[in-house]
Amino acid sequence: MLPNKYRWLSLAGVVMLTSSAYSFKNDYFEISKNLEIFTNIVKEINASYVDEIDPNKFIRSGIDGMMNSLDPYTDFIPEEDLDSYKMTTTGRYGGVGALIKTEGDYVVISEPYEGFPADKAGLRAGDKLLEIDGQSVKKKNTEEVSKMLKGKPNTEVKLLIERPGDSKPITKSVLRQEIHIKSVPYYGTLNDSKTGYIRLTQFTEDCSKDVANALRELKEKNKIQSVILDLRGNPGGLLNEAVDVANIFIPKNKEVVSTRGKRREWDKSYKTENEPVDLQIPLTVLIDEGSASASEIVSGTIQDLDRGVVIGRRSYGKGLVQTTKNVGFDAKVKLTTAKYYLPSSRCIQEIDYSKGFDAKKAYEEEPEHKPDSTHTAFKTSCGRTVYDAGGIRPDIEIEETTPANITVSLVNKQLVFDYATQYRIKHDKIPQPEQFELSDAEYNDFVQFLSGKKYDDYTTVSEDVLKRLTEVAEKENYNKALKTEIETIEAKMKADKTKDVVKFKSEIKKWLEYEIVKRYYYQTGEIRELLEDDDAAKQAINVLDNPAKYKQILSKK
């Protein structure tokens, strides 16, 4: 699973047993020595430092420092964070069932989960949380507010909210329950019902059963002829669930993945244990740079066994396995213990953390993919070439479409979100996601909504170039000669920039439609709306509708 510390192990070499034993003894001495030094430092600082220290906070900073020197997936989990950790593996927690985000000094509801307590109590996206159980939450962050909202099922939490359009705050009583986040938020049909579509967003407990049941229903009720498994943005999760998801499409007793660690006794092979749901149905798997870990095991296995066509953008590149160990006082440490290898014997890990790990750099920068010439080639079952490291390379690559600066600015400044909130107040219902479209009059209303709001403070490429030109001209003493021309260009750019909201109308409209649809049809509706303009899904349908092309892609090259 992708790290929670950041957005984004080295394999021990073969050594003689005597050398390994010596190394272990030497390490043990160094560990004992430095632990004693560490303990003595803590004691001295606690006894003699000029100010009082918080022992928990002080020592935790030391633990975090150790974790940050390893890889971004090795992490300390104190007792107070166990519930959050369990939620990532089970998809379950006690609470109200809503996503939240910060807006100004307050936290607002960004999305209530359909059918859960927040939704049943009538909470809406855009509702601002003022108080929780009588306690003001002004200037509290989302983590603090989330802890206040969570609690044992069947306990009540009282919320004071401010809703746009209402003159007075509203009190809501919400009865907490066990929230089970759906691993398959949507499945349905595309392509005149010939193609099934299953969206899997996380590899939590029993997600494989959800995928299998979705496929069975699509086959029995809709008589689908092919299927798309969408793993885009899926950060991974439980390894055994990845094996079971792959098992839906591949035979029993087939190796999906193997793991190799520092000690040979930890090496393990994971094979499918169940009868598959369908071995023959044409299959495409969608991935992107947000598909990691378990997502890469499934897509990589499907690719290595030539069971289906992988479409999209290169995946994240996480080929490491984590194990959770108890360390006392109900705390745990999640640490990297092995690398995993796909059926072709390749490991798709992108970064070699044995050469050092810069936490700040990893957080601020996207990993750079190295050229294929630097990687080792492997063969799929039928002899197609695949590569190790750098994630899963799709069989068909879809070019990434980057939103315009104006669109990014409108989304980041919450203006798309806020307009959708206003739209929901004025409209009790809208057509189904596939039929909903914002009219030109409604888009003009959005433009009016933007009046007086600051959203054009982004920098265009042209402005960057002009800025560099100004700097170079100043260094070369041309600034006086070019001053008038540069100022004229700047003025023209600024005037043209104000027209971006019209220039990029079609793109901005789509983002507005995505957000508005979610207010009425929740996450399911948003996915249905997104599929209307999904290039990867369209390419998948094109391949699945063309048996000759599908077969040719999966044949030896």
Q: What is the pLDDT of residue 120?
A: 96
| pLDDT of 162 | 97
Instruction: Count CB neighbours of 202 within 10 A.
Output: 23
Cα 142 to Cα 345: distance, rounded to the nearest angstrom: 42
pLDDT tens digit string along 402-425? Answer: 999 999 999 999 999 999 999 999
Q: Which of 141, 132, 71 lies closest to 96 in space, CA to CA?
A: 132
Can you tell me the distance from the alpha carbon of 378 to that of 108, in angstroms, rounded to the nearest whole number? 49
Q: What are phi and psi of 377, to 5 degrees?
A: -90, 140
d(CA 364, CA 411): 21
Q: What is the pairing mode between strands 309-312 and 156-162?
A: unpaired
SS3 282: coil
Contacts of the segment 189-193: beta carbons below 8 A, 24+ positions apart: 189/218, 189/222, 189/224, 190/228, 190/531, 190/537, 190/541, 191/541, 191/544, 191/545, 193/222, 193/223, 193/224
**Helix H or strand E segment including 465:** helix 461-475
Helix pair 405-412, 505-531: axis angle to 10 deg: 70
Amino acid at 85: Y
Contact 252, 275 (CB under 8 A): yes
How many C-beta atoms surround the C-beta of residue 75 within 10 A? 23
459, with CB counted inside 10 A (0-12, 13-18, 19+), is exposed
pLDDT value at position 174?
97
CATH topology of domain 186-398: 2-enoyl-CoA Hydratase; Chain A, domain 1 (3.90.226)
Whole-number pLDDT of residue 496: 62
Beta strands in 163-261 (DSSP E): 170-175, 177-180, 186-190, 195-199, 226-230, 255-261
The CATH architecture that domain 92-180 belongs to is Roll (2.30)
Model pLDDT, residue 5: 39
Give pLDDT, residue 109.
Answer: 97
DSSP codes of every residue in 487-503: HHHHHHHHHHHTTHHHH
Spans of the chain below 70 pLDDT: 1-26, 355-373, 459-461, 463, 466, 490-497, 557
32-65 per-residue burial string, b: 16 or more CB within 10 A, e: under 16: eeeeeeeeeeeeeeeeeeeeeeeeeeeeeeeeee
What percent of the chain lies above the pLDDT cut of 90?
A: 70
Distant-in-sequence, close-in-space partners of 354: CB < 8 Å, separation ≥ 6: 9, 10
Half-sphere exposure of 370 (CA within 13 A, CB side): 14
Contact (Cβ atoms closer than 8 angstroms) between residue 91 and residue 178 = no
Query: Which residues participate in catalysis according to the annotation?
Result: 293, 304, 318
At residue 17, the pLDDT reads 35
Q: How much is the pLDDT for 537?
A: 97
